[in-house]
């Protein structure tokens, strides 16, 4: 393994790595003996996510992996850059150590950026003259800060905010400054403003729009957030278009078109980002009109050997400037590289942030408007909430301040759940869609619920990791990557590991599995054994037992007992059917439903003496057995899907079996009524 190539290292001689001479030591080879060279350009969070996912597959041995990073050292978390402005600037932001790359047999060449790509010869060339052959190439070059063409923007004391080096420069210059201005009030602008505030500077935010965060918030939400930011000491200058930045001795003067100039010691530009597509443009790959490498659903560029993920990619005309969609792309591409056929069909712009202690969440299509859309909002003390509906179904939401029902909202948006008139009125009055009795604790979430939006980690994945020994927040993060990006879900992870209901949930699922299998076993035994033969003599002991299914009185006892238990089982199923009925844990009600179903099967076996009946009674019994068998299969699928992180197939199976179970049940009450009437009529 070649040592890390840091910027301070000696000039590296030009080398050509081809399929047969990739390393001096023993190469990684696929079972067929063919070495495939994979070059990744970009060692940011998305590039790292791709490498992490790819090397988690055993099939990754088919690739020799070389990654080029523009910055020195391993990949780090850019979302947490503002933490470097705190009391201790040595906050560990690295996503992995150098040893991690070595352990996964990834060759990291840091501080030597790729400068050109030769499509014909399949080569990448670096700033130090190194040439590397590739079989497949992944562009994960990210984005760069957009710097508007303002006269004086290159003056001393004007910075951008994107990398560790940028933070070091801002922190060093800010040590001798007292005031600063941030141009731009988007996510990055507010984060930069908070960083400047942390080092004690009087901070101004200059925004050309009429409200802050214009791409994330509506007018009402932006107004509330602005008030809370002002209470923390920030000063906003809205509708201010910067015409020029002029150096006046030790000060920087921002001139505006309609307002008085603003004099500060330093300026940070945070007016957005642009895809890093210069490499793609230089080699002739197809680009979007607004910048970015065009990719298809397989994340393939116009050259079939080259792929692009993250902020440098444009998919179906959309450029995602967020980490979460980039991670989704990374997962899809890594899976495809090892032969698992998947595709990237798009993502949303949902964000969950904490800006200076204020929760700001945008979910789904939160800024949609038009005749087909309905907006319902609510405002409270330092809180603003809005939901966006399309044809009665929730498609987006904006939350500023305390984010009640956040996870429940996100799941509803993903599932396009309908919202009733009653729920809309409740939201207008209380700011909530669902009743307060619906618990928000993670223990009540379904297995498919997404806990970590950045890494797309579900509760089922956390449960599986917990059961495999990851019983702390740090261990869960290491196993699943949850909480390793923005960190906003770490309180949920704390709730998860601190909740004893995890063990109760596993026990409940196990009991449901046993109960469901037992029910199927009784039904199978019934079919195999068949009718119990009649006693040969009325004096035998067996004759007394036979009265249970032959004597009319005992038949009434067992029959009506079965009907009663069946009715009780239906009541226990209301916990899922009736959404306003939310008392108790759903898994406990589900288990009770399964146990009662087992009792009903036993009672009916006793009631009939294992006989199948004829004509009408035969139809009734066949329907009952099919209902019981399908319900048992639903119970088995449910218990398995509760603890499996890869439960997509089981969830589909459970949904199909549940539909069959319900469809078969509907005739049962009618058949039972006719059976009781006919039994009394003919029995007497």
pLDDT digits (tens, 9 = 90+) for 166-183: 999 999 999 999 999 999
- Name, in order, each residue with C-beta under 8 angstroms of 258's C-beta and a sequence gap of 6 or more: 239, 241
| Fold for the domain defined by 448-499 | Arc Repressor Mutant, subunit A (1.10.10)
Kindly state the helix (H) or strand (E) to which residue 207 belongs, with its residue range.
strand 202-207
Paired residues of 107 in beta bridges = 66
Alpha-carbon distance of 429 to 423, in angstroms, equals 10
The fraction of the chain above a pLDDT of 90, given in percent, is 41
- Kindly report the CATH class assigned to 16-143+275-337: alpha beta
Q: Which among 305, 280, 338 is positioned nearest to 142, based on CA atoms?
A: 280
The fraction of the chain above a pLDDT of 70, given in percent, is 80
Kindly state the helix (H) or strand (E) to which residue 106 belongs, with its residue range.
strand 106-110
- Residue 283 is predicted with a pLDDT of 96
- Name, in order, each residue with C-beta under 8 angstroms of 680's C-beta and a sequence gap of 6 or more: none
Contact 74, 100 (CB under 8 A): yes
pLDDT at 17 over 90: no
pLDDT digits (tens, 9 = 90+) for 217-261: 999 999 999 999 999 899 999 999 999 999 998 899 999 988 999
Contact 410, 453 (CB under 8 A): yes
Alpha-carbon distance of 363 to 287, in angstroms, equals 29
More confident residue, 28 or 453: 453
- Residue 586 is predicted with a pLDDT of 60
Query: Is-same-fold flag (158-271; 448-499)?
Result: no
- Name, in order, each residue with C-beta under 8 angstroms of 561's C-beta and a sequence gap of 6 or more: 603
| CATH, range 158-271 | 3.50.50.60
* Alpha helices, H only, 433-500: 459-467, 473-480, 490-497
Q: Domain spans of the chain? A: 16-143+275-337, 158-271, 448-499, 501-683
Q: What is the mean pLDDT of the chain?
A: 81
Please report, for residues 588, 603, 623, the alpha-carbon distance to residue 568 in angstroms, rounded to integers and kept in the order given: 14, 14, 19
Q: Do strands 266-269 and 158-160 pair parallel, antiparallel, or not at all (unpaired)?
A: parallel
Q: Cite the beta strand spans of 356-440 per DSSP E.
A: 358-364, 373-380, 383-390, 393-400
pLDDT-derived band at 38, boundaries 50, 70, 90: very high
- Residue 225 is predicted with a pLDDT of 94
The predicted model scores a pTM of 0.68
3-state secondary structure of 466: helix
- Residue 552 is predicted with a pLDDT of 67
Q: What does the pLDDT average to over 59-71?
A: 90
Alpha-carbon distance of 267 to 245, in angstroms, equals 9
pLDDT digits (tens, 9 = 90+) for 533-592: 654 544 444 445 566 666 667 777 777 887 887 777 676 665 555 544 445 556 677 777
- Residue 35 is predicted with a pLDDT of 65
Q: What does the pLDDT average to over 279-283?
A: 97
- In this structure, what DSSP letter does residue 162 have? S
- Residue 487 is predicted with a pLDDT of 61
pLDDT at 354 over 60: yes
pLDDT at 291 over 50: yes
Paired residues of 263 in beta bridges = 253
pLDDT digits (tens, 9 = 90+) for 466-504: 777 777 777 887 788 787 665 667 767 777 776 545 555
**Residue 566 corresponds to which tokens in the numbers above?**
């069946």
On the CB side of 649, CA atoms within 13 Å amount to: 1
- Name, in order, each residue with C-beta under 8 angstroms of 76's C-beta and a sequence gap of 6 or more: 93, 94, 95, 164
- Residue 500 is predicted with a pLDDT of 46
Paired residues of 36 in beta bridges = 63
Q: What does the pLDDT average to over 24-36?
A: 43
pLDDT-derived band at 512, boundaries 50, 70, 90: confident
Please report, for residues 179, 530, 546, 612, the alpha-carbon distance to residue 680 in angstroms, rounded to integers and kept in the order given: 93, 26, 20, 19
For 611-624, the DSSP string reads ---SHHHHHHHHHH
Please report, for residues 232, 286, 584, 594, the alpha-carbon distance to residue 513 in angstroms, rounded to integers and kept in the order given: 54, 54, 20, 9
Alpha-carbon distance of 480 to 450, in angstroms, equals 12
- Which range among 79-88, 513-522, 523-532, 577-586 shows the weakest confidence by mean pLDDT? 577-586
Burial class of residue 172, CB neighbours in 10 A (0-12, 13-18, 19+):
exposed
pLDDT at 89 over 80: no
pLDDT digits (tens, 9 = 90+) for 655-664: 677 778 778 8
């Amino acid at each position: 393994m070649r040592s890390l190539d840091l910027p301070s290292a000696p000039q590296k001689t030009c080398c050509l790595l081809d399929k047969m001479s990739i390393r001096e030591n023993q190469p990684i080879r696929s079972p067929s003996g063919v070495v495939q060279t994979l070059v990744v350009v970009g060692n940011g969070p998305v590039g790292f996510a791709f490498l992490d996912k790819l090397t988690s597959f055993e099939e990754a041995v088919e690739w020799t992996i070389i990654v080029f990073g523009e910055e020195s050292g391993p990949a780090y978390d850019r979302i947490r850059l503002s933490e470097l402005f705190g009391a201790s600037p040595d906050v560990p932001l690295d996503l992995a150590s150098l040893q991690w790359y070595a352990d996964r047999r990834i060759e990291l060449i840091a501080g030597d950026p790729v400068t050109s790509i030769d499509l014909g010869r399949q080569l990448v060339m670096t700033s130090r003259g190194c040439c590397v052959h590739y079989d497949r190439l992944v562009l994960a070059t990210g984005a760069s800060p957009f710097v508007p063409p303002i006269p004086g923007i290159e003056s001393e004391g004007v910075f951008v905010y994107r990398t560790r080096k940028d933070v070091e420069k801002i922190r060093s210059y800010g040590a001798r400054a007292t005031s600063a201005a941030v141009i731009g009030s988007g996510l990055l602008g507010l984060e930069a403003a908070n960083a400047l505030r942390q080092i004690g500077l009087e901070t101004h935010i200059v925004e050309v729009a009429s409200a802050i965060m214009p791409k994330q918030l509506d007018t009402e939400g932006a107004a509330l957030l602005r008030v809370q930011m002002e209470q923390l000491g920030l000063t906003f200058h809205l509708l201010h278009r910067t015409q020029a930045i002029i150096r006046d001795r030790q000060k920087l003067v921002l001139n505006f078109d309609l307002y008085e100039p603003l004099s500060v010691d330093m300026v940070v530009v945070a007016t957005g980002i642009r895809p890093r597509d210069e490499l793609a443009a230089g080699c002739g790959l197809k680009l979007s009109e607004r910048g970015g490498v065009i990719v298809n659903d397989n994340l393939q560029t116009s050259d079939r050997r080259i792929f692009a993920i993250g902020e440098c990619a444009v998919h179906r005309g959309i450029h995602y400037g967020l980490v979460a969609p980039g991670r989704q792309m990374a997962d899809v591409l890594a899976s495809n590289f090892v032969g698992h056929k998947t595709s990237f069909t798009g993502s949303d712009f949902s964000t969950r942030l904490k800006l200076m202690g204020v929760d700001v969440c945008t979910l789904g299509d939160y800024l949609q408007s038009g005749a087909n859309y309905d907006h319902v909002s609510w405002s409270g003390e330092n809180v603003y909430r809005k939901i966006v509906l399309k044809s009665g179904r929730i498609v987006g939401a904006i939350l500023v301040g305390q984010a009640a029902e956040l996870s429940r909202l996100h799941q509803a948006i993903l599932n396009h759940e309908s919202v009733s008139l009653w729920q809309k009125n409740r939201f207008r009055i209380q700011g909530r869609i669902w009743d307060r009795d619906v618990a928000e604790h993670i223990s009540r979430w379904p297995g498919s619920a997404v806990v970590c939006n950045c890494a797309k980690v579900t509760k089922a994945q956390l449960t599986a990791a917990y059961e495999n020994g990851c019983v702390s927040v740090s261990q869960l993060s290491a196993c699943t990557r949850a909480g390793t990006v923005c960190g906003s879900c770490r309180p949920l992870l704390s709730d998860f590991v601190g909740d004893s209901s995890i063990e109760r949930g596993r026990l409940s699922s196990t009991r449901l599995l046993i109960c469901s299998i037992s029910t199927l076993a009784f039904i199978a035994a019934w079919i195999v054994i068949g009718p119990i033969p009649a006693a040969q003599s009325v004096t035998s002991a067996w004759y007394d037992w036979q009265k249970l299914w032959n004597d009319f009185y005992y038949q009434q006892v067992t029959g009506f007992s079965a009907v009663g238990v069946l009715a009780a089982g239906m009541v226990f199923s209301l916990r899922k059917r009736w959404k306003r009925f939310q008392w108790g844990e759903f898994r406990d009600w589900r288990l009770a439903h399964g146990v009662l179903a087992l009792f009903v099967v036993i009672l009916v076996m006793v009631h009939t003496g294992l006989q199948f009946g004829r004509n009408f009674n035969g139809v009734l019994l066949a329907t009952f057995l099919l209902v019981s068998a399908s319900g048992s299969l639903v119970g088995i699928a449910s218990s398995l899907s509760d603890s499996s992180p890869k439960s997509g197939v089981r969830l589909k199976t459970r949904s199909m079996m549940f539909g069959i179970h319900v469809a078969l049940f509907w005739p049962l009450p009618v058949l039972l009524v006719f059976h009781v009437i006919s039994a009394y009529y003919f029995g007497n």
